[in-house]
């Protein structure tokens, strides 16, 4: 293309046909300029609509992927109280005798449950000895401790769990309040 090519010639690229600034500077009474200005506005609206549709598609794909990743969250949350009761049964069987058939059988079932949770990307939240984190811990009380610093978890009263990066249930914990205050 040469510099001598007129702006509205058939050899001009479509992008070069309409320059909104040039059209707005021209007389608004000219029907050709009005038509070109209107075409430029419609083209801009079409580009915006296409971009909005593309963003919508990406958002829907992301939401679908999240739905698939976290589809079992409700089922797994319903399973957690059953798992708590199973742990209580394990503790009772262990207190009775670690060599008993009941304890050995429960241990095998517990291992299967742990494997199932791991396959479904559920992990237990570590609590004892960790700093208290309100995002994953639920403080049920505070206790003074001469050996553990303030804000550190002393004891876990109920296990907490995460599904991938989402919290299923916070761990219920007892937090250290530091050394006991000495009365004067």
Query: Are the beta carbons of 8 and 35 closer than 8 angstroms?
Result: no
Domains within the chain, CATH numbers bracketed: 14-69 (no CATH), 72-120 (no CATH), 121-184 (2.30.22.10)
pLDDT digits (tens, 9 = 90+) for 92-123: 888 888 888 888 999 999 999 999 999 999 99
User: What's the pLDDT score for residue 175?
Assistant: 95
Q: So what's the pLDDT on residue 18?
A: 52
Name the stretches of the chain with pLDDT < 70.
Answer: 1-28, 181-184
Contacts 24+ apart (CB under 8 A), 12-19: 18/43
Using CB atoms within 10 Å of the CB of residue 62, give its burial: 0 to 12 exposed, 13 to 18 middle, 19+ buried: exposed
20 alpha carbon, distance to own chain's centre: 44
pLDDT value of position 10: 45
Q: What pLDDT is recorded for position 11?
A: 45
pTM of structure: 0.61
The residue among 80, 85, 164 whose CA lies nearest residue 122 is 164
Classify 167 as helix, strand or coil.
strand
């Amino acid at each position: 293309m040469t510099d001598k090519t007129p702006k509205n010639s058939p050899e001009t690229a479509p992008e070069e046909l309409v320059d909104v600034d040039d059209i707005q500077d021209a007389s608004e009474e000219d029907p050709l300029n009005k038509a070109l200005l209107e075409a430029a506005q419609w083209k801009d609206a079409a580009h915006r609509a296409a971009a909005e549709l593309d963003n919508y598609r990406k958002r829907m794909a992301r939401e679908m992927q999240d739905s698939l990743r976290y589809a079992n969250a409700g089922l797994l949350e319903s399973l957690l109280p059953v798992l708590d009761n199973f742990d209580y049964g394990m503790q009772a069987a262990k207190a009775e005798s670690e060599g008993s058939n009941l304890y050995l059988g429960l241990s095998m079932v517990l291992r299967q449950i742990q494997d199932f949770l791991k396959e479904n990307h559920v992990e237990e939240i570590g609590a004892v000895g960790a700093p208290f984190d309100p995002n994953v811990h639920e403080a049920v009380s505070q206790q003074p401790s001469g050996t553990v610093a303030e804000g550190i978890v002393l004891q876990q009263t109920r296990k907490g769990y995460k599904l991938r990066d989402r919290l299923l249930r916070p761990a219920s914990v007892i937090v250290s309040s530091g050394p006991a205050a000495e009365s004067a």
